[in-house]
């Protein structure tokens, strides 16, 4: 009998605990940027005596844009993307079919650095590349735009003034003011969503660990490249791996696209219990399960399904082994 997957993952967590990621979870970084951008633009306009303006955030998750700016009798829809990558400003999950006029980019590579850029939709389209070349029909792009960023944000302020037809030179806020707004936005998110703060490993780490676990028992396994349509290939089957920590009483799994995989393995972890939970479904089983849950609080979007489940969702626990995994593939 092989070592249980739970025991293997617990050992990996302990061995790599110093590499545990801190900060905000990826899901909340975009929300952080939206709150910050709203407060920053309000303070910027006030400092520059811009009169009769209004900045309205989007109403819900499904809106095509993040902020709408009303100024001088005109309105402009702004999509906001935030990157915290240290070495290069890359911005993901941009959907050009959405209804927005300008793309506002926020790059926060370190604790004391914050840069802005603003592009028209057409400018962004010209430099965008697909998030995944294996899904060419997806309206899902990323933008790498280092040439738009500079230390003093002068170019950003000039372009913002031009795009919004403000027709006057804007003066930037002090760094301390911007960093304080960033801090306040983060505190607001954590206050409303305590689970937003990371004290865990990324899902990609668990994918690599699962590949390592399988490799102890078989050579017929391959870890797929980042952003591939599924995470692991096993015996010519595409396996998607989804990880979630426990938020209050729920596990939350994001970006589930059944058309891209043959099987999906859900990995849940309760830090208080120091215990893993596992559930595995074929594509057909997952889609049937989704149909049976029609009307639940699960969310579908162009980035895939989001599901929220309790511990009763998981059929496997500490005793889930390689033999269990292999047998599931063979019998479904």
Where are the domains positioned within the chain? 5-20+201-331, 23-195
pLDDT of residue 316: 92
| pLDDT level of residue 247 (50, 70, 90 thresholds) | confident
**Cβ atoms 62, 39 nearer than 8 A:** no
CATH number corresponding to 23-195:
3.40.1350.10
Q: Is 80 exceeded by the pLDDT of residue 315?
A: yes
**What average pLDDT does range 14-29 have in this prediction?**
78
301/24: higher pLDDT: 24
| pLDDT level of residue 193 (50, 70, 90 thresholds) | confident
Place of tokens 């990609």: 204
**What average pLDDT does range 216-229 have in this prediction?**
92
**Cβ atoms 38, 181 nearer than 8 A:** no
Q: Model confidence over 67-109: pLDDT tens digits?
A: 999 999 999 999 999 998 878 889 988 999 999 999 999 999 8
Q: What CATH fold (topology level) applies to the domain 5-20+201-331?
A: Trna Endonuclease; Chain: A, domain 1 (3.40.1350)
Q: How many residues does the chain have?
A: 332
Helices 203-215, 322-331: inter-axial angle, 10-degree rounding = 90
pLDDT of residue 242: 95
Please state, in angstroms and rounded to a whole number, the distance separating the CA atoms of residues 173 and 64.
29
**Cβ atoms 58, 65 nearer than 8 A:** yes
5-20+201-331 and 23-195 in the same fold: yes
* Secondary structure of the chain in HEC code, one letter for each residue: CCCCHHHHHHHHHHHCHHHCEEEECHHHHHHHHHHHHHHHHHHHHHHCCCCCCEEEECCCCCCCCCEEEEECCEEEEEEEEEECCCCCCEEEEECCCCCCCEEEEEEEEECCEEEEEEEEHHHHHHHEEECCCCCCCCCCEEEECHHHCCCCCHHHHHHHHHHCCCCCCCCCCCHHHHHHHHHHHHHHHHHHCHHHEEEECCHHHHHHHHHHHHHCCCCCEEECCCCCCCCEEECCEEEEEEEEEEECCEEEEEEECHHHCCEEEEEEEECCCCEEEEEEEEHHHHHHHHHHCCCCCCEEECCEEEEEECHHHCCECCCCCHHHHHHHHHHC
pLDDT of residue 143: 93
pTM above 0.85, yes or no: no
* Lowest-confidence segment of 16-20, 171-175, 271-275 by average pLDDT: 16-20
* Lowest-confidence segment of 133-142, 175-184, 243-252, 282-291 by average pLDDT: 133-142
């Amino acid at each position: 009998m092989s070592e249980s997957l739970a025991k293997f993952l617990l050992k990996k967590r302990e061995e790599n605990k110093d590499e545990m990621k801190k900060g905000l979870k990826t899901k909340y970084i975009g929300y952080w940027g939206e709150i910050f951008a709203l407060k920053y633009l309000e303070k910027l306009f006030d400092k520059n005596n811009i009169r009769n303006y209004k900045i309205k955030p989007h109403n819900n998750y499904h809106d095509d844009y993040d902020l709408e700016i009303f100024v001088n009798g005109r309105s402009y829809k702004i999509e906001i993307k935030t990157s915290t990558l240290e070495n290069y400003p890359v911005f993901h999950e941009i959907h050009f079919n959405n209804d927005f006029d300008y793309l506002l980019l926020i790059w926060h590579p370190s604790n004391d650095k914050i840069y802005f850029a603003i592009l028209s939709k057409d400018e962004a389209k010209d430099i965008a590349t697909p998030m995944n070349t294996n899904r060419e029909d997806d309206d899902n792009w990323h933008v790498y735009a280092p040439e738009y960023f500079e230390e003093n944000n002068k170019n950003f302020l000039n372009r913002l003034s031009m795009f919004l037809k403000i027709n006057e030179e804007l003066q930037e806020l002090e760094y301390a003011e911007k960093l304080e707004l960033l801090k306040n936005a983060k505190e607001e998110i954590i206050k409303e969503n305590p689970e937003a703060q990371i004290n865990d490993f990324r899902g990609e780490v668990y994918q690599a660990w699962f590949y390592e676990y399988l490799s102890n028992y078989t050579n017929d396994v391959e870890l797929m490249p980042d952003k591939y349509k599924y995470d692991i290939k096993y015996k010519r089957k595409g396996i998607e791996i989804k990880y979630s920590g426990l938020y209050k009483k729920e596990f939350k799994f994001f970006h589930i696209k059944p058309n891209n995989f043959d099987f999906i393995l859900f990995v849940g972890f309760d830090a208080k219990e120091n215990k893993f939970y596992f559930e595995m479904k074929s594509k057909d089983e997952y889609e049937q399960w989704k149909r049976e849950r029609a009307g639940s609080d699960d969310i579908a979007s162009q980035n895939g399904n989001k599901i929220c489940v309790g511990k009763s969702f998981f059929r496997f626990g500490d005793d889930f082994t390689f033999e269990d995994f292999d047998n599931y593939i063979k019998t479904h």
